[in-house]
Amino acid sequence: MKKRESLYNEGGEPKFETSSGIPIKRIYDPEDISDIDYGKEIADAGTYPFTRGIYPGMYRDRLWRRRLLSGFGSARDSMERLTYLSSIGAEGVEVVNDSPSQLGIDADHPMAVEEAGLIGIPVSSLYDLEKILEGFPLDKTVVSFESTGVSGITIASQLFALADKQGVPLTALNGSIHVNPFDQYYCAYGTQQPLDLWTKLAVDVVEFTSNHKMKLATFHGSARLARENGVSAVQELALGMSSQIAFIDAILERGLNFDGIANRPVYTFAIGSDFFEEIAKFRAGRKMWARIAKERYHAENPRALRLYLAVRASGRVLLAQQPMNNIIRTAYQILAAALGGCNSIDPCLMDEPLCIPTETASWFGMCNQNILAHETGVPSVVDPLGGSYFIEYLTAELEKKAFEMIQKIDDMGGLVEAVKKGWIGKILEEEAYKFQMAVERGDKKLVGINEMVIPPEKEQGIPIHQTSKASTDEQVKRTREVKEKRDNKKVKDLLRKLIDEDKRNVNLMPLLIEASKEYATIGEIWGSLREGRGLNYDPYGMIESPFKD
């Protein structure tokens, strides 16, 4: 009988712990996982509950999708950068939206004129999306619109309008558009638009894509934003699954069928820096989703049980000091993602704490991906850490703790109630504070901050991207131009119709697609629907509808 090791020191603090606070033993052995039934809890890859991967062959059959995030400047700037990234092997188009479009206002809004294109792609109307995707055939390009704020709705309608204009069948579109409001509305850019309207439109998108049997994934969950605010791996699992649950419940309320809408479930995780915890987290995430789909929603569609993991390395763990070290940090992060069986991986780039990525940083990001893919041998076996006493223990433990937190959220009445009660906001603030204090006390060592510190004058500089004022101005001009050149009578009529149809509580996607084709803008669409519901046209109260009689 082995002597039981104490996990805690005399002060009651864990001697060693993961970043989520799970105490870690000195060494793990068969006893630690003896009650885990392989067939039930782990199973081979491609078999329920998919702990080891959603496909039997994983990277042996097809490598993870190697993505690089992009988006800045004018629509033309974004298109040029996307073209460059494609030329160096980045797979598909992965973009983040700029702040005006994430908030649902146009580039020429008084609050937006200095901001268009600063942190992402500027998409006020189809006129911009057309430009951004110039040269990318829609039936051969895998798109990923993940950091969308509220713009996911109009991006969907613009993309479908574009497909129609180009004669590409909707069923040929591939990739994902993030429309789920429940992981965004309580942080970052999601806070300005009414949740009920946003939810209604998001369910419209999912219903539309399901009815048209599209392979483009719009049923998408995440807690990446919360993670970037500082929450732990356990909290990321729980918050993300809870946001998925909140979205599913809204969708089911409409009478849609779970098996139909969850045909291609996608989940976005951040990749943190606690190496083994992240690997276990991805495995736990797949397993949790499979169980939620089967046990909570009684899924019968086998595809609804397989969670596609599209992951993005956390920018939060990267540092501005000695930024070339970030390439090393990201290498460990994407290694964890590959060992965790993720299906699409996006490394943050070395200049993330400083600026929008430069071409140099993007180049090294792609090198990072390809060195992992081709030089390490990692892709040649499925779930290589499966069976590790520590990894299996940690996977089970993360799952257990995350389900406990989901239960707490359920007991409070669900995610929206938990947000209303301030419970989630408190978690975000407390975790960020805890981490900062640990760094300041020196308990958490960070190379460049409190280890291997060098004076600023000795720093080796890297190129810094600057989005020019000219690019922003160009974007503002484009927006004003399209508003002048389009058929404004048609747009006015369509927006009026939109308000009427919203009152009839029908699916607005067909109308949104028509309006997008006529170059109605994101600000006009959101503004009109807001007015129809008795709110101010403009969330900032600065402008009025241009279509007032």
Partner 1 sequence: MRKIRVVISKIGLDGHEVGAKLISAMLKNAGMEVVYLGKFQTPESIVASAFQENADVIGLSCLSPNHVRLIPKMMDLLKEKGMEDVFVVVGGTVPDPYPEELRNAGVREIFGPGTMSDKVVSSIKSLVASQKTRPISR
Q: Which residues of this protein are in contact with partner 1, per CB under 8 A?
A: 99-100, 102-103, 111-112, 114-115, 118-119, 187-189, 191-192, 229-230, 319-321, 353-355, 428-429, 432-433, 436, 440, 446, 448-449, 461, 464, 466-467, 469, 540
CA 71 to CA 82: how far, in whole Å?
8
CA 56 to CA 45: how far, in whole Å?
5
Instruction: Give the shortest CB-90-to-partner 1 separation in angstroms.
Output: 24
Helices (H) and strands (E) in the chain, counts: 18, 9
Instruction: Give the shortest CB-388-to-partner 1 separation in angstroms.
Output: 34
Nearest residue to 219 via CA among 185, 247, 190: 247
Instruction: Give the shortest CB-429-to-partner 1 separation in angstroms.
Output: 6
Helix, strand, coil shares of the chain, percent, nearest 5, are 50, 10, 40
Nearer to partner 1, 243 or 322 (CB): 322
Instruction: Give the shortest CB-58-to-partner 1 separation in angstroms.
Output: 35
Contact predicate 527/535, CB 8 Å: no
Nearer to partner 1, 187 or 331 (CB): 187
**Strand (E) or helix (H) holding 95:** strand 93-96
Give the list of residues 6+ apart from residue 531 with CB closer than 8 angstroms, or none: 499, 537, 545
**Strand (E) or helix (H) holding 336:** helix 325-339
Instruction: Give the shortest CB-421-to-partner 1 separation in angstroms.
Output: 18
Contact predicate 117/472, CB 8 Å: yes
Instruction: Give the shortest CB-77-to-partner 1 separation in angstroms.
Output: 14
Instruction: Give the shortest CB-108-to-partner 1 separation in angstroms.
Output: 14
Nearer to partner 1, 223 or 335 (CB): 223
Nearer to partner 1, 88 or 439 (CB): 439
CA dist 515 to 106, 126, 154, 369, Å? 15, 10, 10, 40
Instruction: Give the shortest CB-323-to-partner 1 separation in angstroms.
Output: 9
Nearer to partner 1, 170 or 187 (CB): 187
Nearer to partner 1, 56 or 463 (CB): 463
Q: In this structure, what DSSP letter does residue 32 have? A: G
Contact predicate 225/312, CB 8 Å: no
Nearer to partner 1, 326 or 369 (CB): 326
Nearer to partner 1, 172 or 320 (CB): 320
Instruction: Give the shortest CB-460-to-partner 1 separation in angstroms.
Output: 13
Give the list of residues 6+ apart from residue 488 with CB closer than 8 angstroms, or none: none
CA 349 to CA 335: how far, in whole Å?
15
How is 153-221 classified by DSSP, letter by letter? HHHHHHHHHHHHHTT--GGG-EEEE----TTTTTSGGGGGS-HHHHHHHHHHHHHHHHHTT--SB--EE
Distance of CA 190 to the CA centre of its chain: 13
Cα separation of the two ends of the chain = 84
Residues 42, 47, 48, 50, CA torsion sign = positive
Nearer to partner 1, 156 or 354 (CB): 354
Nearer to partner 1, 315 or 532 (CB): 315
Instruction: Give the shortest CB-351-to-partner 1 separation in angstroms.
Output: 8
Instruction: Give the shortest CB-35-to-partner 1 separation in angstroms.
Output: 39
Instruction: Give the shortest CB-78-to-partner 1 separation in angstroms.
Output: 16
CA dist 410 to 161, 238, 291, 406, Å? 39, 11, 16, 6
Nearer to partner 1, 39 or 456 (CB): 456
On the CB side of 400, CA atoms within 13 Å amount to 9
**Residue 42 identity (one-letter amino acid):** I
Nearer to partner 1, 38 or 433 (CB): 433
Q: How many residues does the chain have?
A: 549
CA 466 to CA 309: how far, in whole Å?
32
